[in-house]
Amino acid sequence: MLERTAEKIEFAKPDRDSCAHKDRHGFWRDEPYYTWSQPRKTVWVSSSKESYYDHLRSKAQKRFGCRVVNTTQQLKIARLFLPSASEINSLREAIDKSRSILQLKDDWDDAGSVRYSESTWNRAQFFLMSNALRLWRSHRRCFAAPRILPGPEGSIDLHWKTADRELLINVPARLEGSISYYGDDKGEGTKNAIRGKNLESSTDAEWIFLWLMK
């Protein structure tokens, strides 16, 4: 009689809060038991070759209508929209180094020059980074990092110089002021080959960098 009672306890159906019940949709499954000698739970393995994460991925795609990509695919997509690490790092380093401009005080050059505001510096770095990414997305090219220099009246100069061409872009201290530019074509011996303003508001500002790299 005691042995029969022990068998009842051993093969009793698990409580709803038990591990066996909680995991019945995972790797363990309750089995109907008609005799006391039948095991309480058995191990099952999916016959599908698809992994559990692949199953979740396909389920998310069907439910939300989105595309789920793996790490390799993410890296391939990133290469289409972002410049290479060396190109973007050199630009980022030039921008970080130029932050020292903000430490200059009024009359830093003994000629009455004013100090430089962080808003002007932020505007200059945003102009550089946004155009670098835009140029890469459109043409798969990235311009070299410029010299970022203190300009007149609190403005900041962005200066490029190649074997054939030279370009200067000026970011004014006044937020309402327009970003101006001029460039020389030394290959053709033409000074002020390009010159203008409102470069920031242009919807096609990458043309000036294509001209520089030509």
- CA torsion 46-50-56-57 (nearest 10°) is -170
Q: Identify the residue whose tokens are 């595309």.
A: 67
Which of 28-37, 62-71, 125-134, 188-197 is predicted most confidently? 125-134
Half-sphere CA count of 170, side-chain side, radius 13 A: 17
φ, ψ dihedrals at 129, nearest 5°? -65, -40
What's the confidence (pLDDT) of residue 81? 54
Whether pTM exceeds 0.75:
no
**Which H helix or E strand runs over 127?**
helix 118-139
Burial of 20 (C-beta count, 10 Å sphere; 0-12/13-18/19+): middle
What's the confidence (pLDDT) of residue 57? 66
**Residue 166 pLDDT greater than 90, yes or no:** yes
Domain positions in the chain are 2-64, 83-213
What's the confidence (pLDDT) of residue 142? 87
Strand-by-strand arrangement of the 180-185 sheet:
147-150, 156-161, 165-171, 180-185, 190-196
Confidence of residue 186 (pLDDT cuts 50, 70, 90): confident
Positive or negative, the CA dihedral 76, 82, 83, 88 is negative
Q: Summarize the confidence of residues 103-117 as an average pLDDT.
A: 94
With a pLDDT cut of 90, the percent of the chain lying above it is 41
Residue 188 to residues 159, 162, 164, 193, 213, Cα–Cα distance (Å) = 20, 13, 8, 9, 15
When mean pLDDT is compared across 11-15, 59-63, 103-107, 194-198, the lowest value belongs to: 11-15
Confidence of residue 28 (pLDDT cuts 50, 70, 90): very low
Q: Summarize the confidence of residues 132-153 as an average pLDDT.
A: 91
